[in-house]
Chain A
Amino acid sequence: MVPLGHYLILSAILFATGTMGVFLRRNVITMLLSIEVMLNAVNLAFIAFGRTQGHVDGQVIMFFVVTVAAAEAAVGLALVIALFRHRETLNPDAFTSLKW
Chain B
Amino acid sequence: MGTELLVFYAFAALAVAASLAVVLGKNPMHSVLLLIVSFAALAGLYIGLDAPFAAVVQIIIYAGAIMVLFLFVVMLLNAHREDEPAALEAAGGLTRGPIRTGAALAVVLAAELGWALMKARGANDGMLSAGAGADAQALQSVRSLGTVLFTNYSLAFEVTSILILVAMIGAVVLAKREL
Contacts and interface: CB of A to CB of B under 8 A. Distances in A.
Q: Do chains A and B touch in the complex (CB under 8 A)?
A: yes
Contact of B139 (A13, A32, A51, A72): A51
Contact of A14 (B4, B15, B98, B166): B15
A87 B131 CA distance: 54
B148 A68 contact: no
A48 B160 contact: no
Interface residues of B, number: 97
Interface residues of A, number: 76
A48 B131 CA distance: 11
Interface of A: 1-21, 23-27, 29-30, 32-34, 36-37, 40, 43-45, 47-60, 62-64, 66-75, 77-82, 84-85, 90-91, 93-94
Nearest to A31: B23
Interface string B36-73: 00110010011011110110011001100110011001
Contact of B49 (A7, A79, A80): A7
